[in-house]
A and B are shown apart, each in its own frame.
Chain A
Amino acid sequence: MSDTALHNPNPTGFAHQFEDLEQQHEAGRLGMWIFLATEILFFGGMFTSYTIYRALHLPSFIIGSHLLEVKFGATNTVVLICSSLTMALAIRAAQTGKSKSSIIFWLILTMILGALFLGLKLRFEWYHDYLEHIVPGFGFEYRPEWGSAAPQVQMFMCFYFFMTGLHALHMVVGLGILAVLVGMSARGRFTSQYYVPLEISGLYWHFVDIVWIFLFPLLYLIGGRYTIGGH
């Protein structure tokens, strides 16, 4: 207790302009949700253009979707869901006044799972796609079996790389935020009274998870996998 007081003279992080801590926390949460609302529309622009071009060129999108490996997409979905659970448990550890090593444990576990997601994506998907010559702008090659659908297959791969790339960029930012949170935890900044940075960073992390929940079926599972080869 004296140790905490020495390093952190204001253990609740209470700012004087608020009525009480509850109001301060709600203001923080609300601000984060407004930011996430803009993020929904940011990703929404990509989902909208995806929807339009999918409606116009469905056969090409089915061929493109079948170039992706469902097993890696599904594995990464599971990895992200696990990381959402560990993030929720990190916040819960702070809420229930657990030791800082407990909070750091769950945060590091979340970071490991986040890094695992990016590692799997880079090593088994993007690098593999590069070797297969299906990365637009990096030696993309039309295959004869695509026929006249080929140009829009390349467009599907553009959507795939931009949407998963933007999602991966959010993951990298999330890992940076988690690293800052680990540092704050190590300095004993979080108590059962003050854990708003953890909570709103958790909101961001879960939001990125939700984006992937939609990307997985929309990119990997178009038109069903029963019609291998499209058409």
Chain B
Amino acid sequence: MAGHGEHEHTPHVVPVSTYVGVFIALLAGTALTTAVAYVDLGRWNTVVALAIAVVKMLCVILFFMHVKYNPGLTRIIIAAAFFWLGIMICFSMSDELTRGWEYNPLPWNPGLILPYLSHFRF
């Protein structure tokens, strides 16, 4: 029954109880994130919503996607993907959010802007 393979392949079978537990946790997370949206936490609403989403994502990745039972190489691929995602978001935001430091209300007009730029020593 081992076919052409040298060794009998024995997959890691996750018990149904684990799947159902993760499923209930995901439903609870959905209910929680919806309920929290109706409570005024100021700017923390976004932080809480994203934190719950990250926990739900970890549940799906670790158990439904079997990463908990996979070799470390899979985790390196996932970590690399999120690292690059972090670079994309952080670098874009650091550019965008620091543009207001020298606010210039004038439209693009070289005749007006070049004398303004000459105040800086390049």
User: B-contacting residues of A (Cβ < 8 Å)?
Assistant: 10-12, 14, 16, 19-22, 25-26, 29-30, 33-34, 36-37, 40-41, 44-45, 47-48, 51-52, 55-56, 70, 74, 77-78, 81-82, 84-85, 87-89, 92, 95-96, 192-195, 199, 202-203, 206-207, 209-210, 213-214, 216-218, 220-227
Contact = CB atoms under 8 A, between A and B. Distances in A.
Given A30-B73, A221-B49, A226-B39, A19 B6 contact: yes
B7 A20 contact: yes
Interface in B25-64: 26-27, 30, 33-34, 37-41, 45-46, 49-50, 52-53, 56-57, 60-61, 63-64
B57 A33 contact: no
B90 to A, nearest CB: 10
Contacts of B40: 224, 226-227
A53 to B, nearest CB: 9
Given A41-B84, A213-B53, A223-B45, A74 B34 contact: yes
Contacts of B16: 89, 92
Does more than half of chain A's interface fall in helix, strand or loop, or is it mixed? Answer: helix
Contacts of B49: 217-218, 221
Contacts of A84: 23, 26, 60, 64
B38 A226 contact: yes
A12 B53 contact: no
A25 B66 CA distance: 13
A21 B9 contact: yes
A74 to B, nearest CB: 5
B114 interface: no
A128 B6 CA distance: 58
Given A70-B37, A92-B16, A213 B57 contact: yes
Contacts of A87: 64
14 contacts: A10-B3, A20-B7, A22-B9, A47-B89, A48-B92, A52-B92, A82-B23, A85-B64, A202-B65, A210-B56, A213-B56, A221-B34, A226-B37, A227-B40
Does more than half of chain B's interface fall in helix, strand or loop, or is it mixed? Answer: helix
Interface residues of B, number: 56
Contact of B81 (A29, A37, A213, A227): A37
B74 A20 contact: no
B13 interface: yes
B80 to A, nearest CB: 7
B33 A26 contact: no
A33 B81 CA distance: 10
Given A202-B65, A224-B45, A33 B74 contact: yes
Contacts of B61: 206, 210
B113 interface: no
A41 B45 contact: no
B88 interface: yes
A92 B19 contact: yes
A26 B6 CA distance: 16
Contacts of B89: 44, 47-48, 51
Which among A51, A81, A194, A225 has the highest number of chain B CB atoms within 10 Å? A81
